[in-house]
Amino acid sequence: MKLIRKLSDFPDSLRGGALSIGNFDGVHLGHQVIVDQLKTLAAEHGGAAIVFTFDPHPVRILRPQQTPPPLTWTNRKADLLAELGVDAVVAYPTDRELLQLSYQEFFQQIVLDLLGAKAMVEGPNFYFGHNREGTVDRLSELCRRQSIQLQIVEPKIETGCFISSSRIRDLLRSGNVDDARQLLTRPYRIRGMVTHGAARGTKIGFPTANLDAIDTLIPGLGVYAGRTYVDGRSHWSAIHIGPNPTFGEDHPKVESHLLDFEGSIYGEVVEVDFISRLRDIRQFDSALQLINQLKLDVDTTRQLARQFSS
């Protein structure tokens, strides 16, 4: 799978395939339906399955104060789309010049001239061009004139609601990583650099990796079971998001206790998957009570690890 950040690097060998344009944030099950149709049309036309996305999200330029926190970083998004079978992802470096293009200019310059699409797949709420004036109906007319096959995919419904990146953000903010995981193609993941903390975890027998510089949505306060990836290797972990009221700390932190792990990873960038929520953050009357609860958290995490590996 190719990740292309400059349209000048787009190879002629990828022209003439099927194209889908969108943010694809999180890469959820609704996106999977679009990609499945994209691959089908690409095969029918003997071309590649191409996803055109934006980096950063256009809202970050137009209305930065309203920008939703992303669910994925660009390389993660590309990896997830590759797992679904996409041949190439174009991560266009969004700028005001692009956002000023009318929908007709966007279609001509991007879809026709640069990508040479023969087919397109979009959702019913797709908009493109300046001021989002390009609607699905207008796209349909433009495609008809150019003999481009267009397929509109209805949103996927789960438990009576449409699957969307916004819905997943709401679940994560509330700490409901379990339900969010059911809507994503892979468990929700963050990344961050390991920095020095107060080292209290080490002193009580539960050393943690303190994550900083996290560039995606952080789930709500709580304790979670998940996996931490160090140098590409997975380690089951008990993850704490929030303050540590037992020691009088009110500043929220993201800490991951890697089970059966030894070694120093300070200064390294690690990635963390969230599998299941274990409990709320609470204040304990003593360090001993906290230690006993941490032992229970680790035991529950081990149980989940066995469950997911069986």
In order of their start, the domains of the chain are 2-155 (3.40.50.620), 187-309 (2.40.30.30)
In the chain, the amino acid numbered 49 is A
* Residue 61 near residue 130, CB atoms below 8 Å: no
pLDDT at 202 over 80: no
Is it the case that residue 309 has pLDDT exceeding 90?
Answer: no
As a residue count, the chain comes to: 310
pLDDT at 248 over 80: no
Contact 41/78 with Cβ under 8 angstroms? no
What's the mean per-residue pLDDT of the chain?
94
| 81-85: average pLDDT | 98
pLDDT level of residue 65 (50, 70, 90 thresholds): confident
Write down the pLDDT at residue 310.
Answer: 63
**pLDDT at residue 250, rounded to an integer:** 76
Distance CA 308, CA 310 (A): 6
- Range 92-114 average pLDDT: 94
As a whole number of angstroms, the distance between CA 13 and CA 34 comes to 22
Cα dihedral 293, 294, 298, 299, rounded to 10, equals -20
Q: Would you place residue 293 in the very low, low, confident or very high pLDDT band (cuts 50, 70, 90)? A: very high
Question: Residue 179 and residue 273: Cα distance in Å, rounded?
Answer: 14
Residue-level pLDDT at 67: 86
Q: Is the pLDDT of residue 256 over 80?
A: yes
Percent of the chain with pLDDT over 70: 98
The per-residue pLDDT for 59 is 85
- Does 17 or 65 have the greater pLDDT score? 17
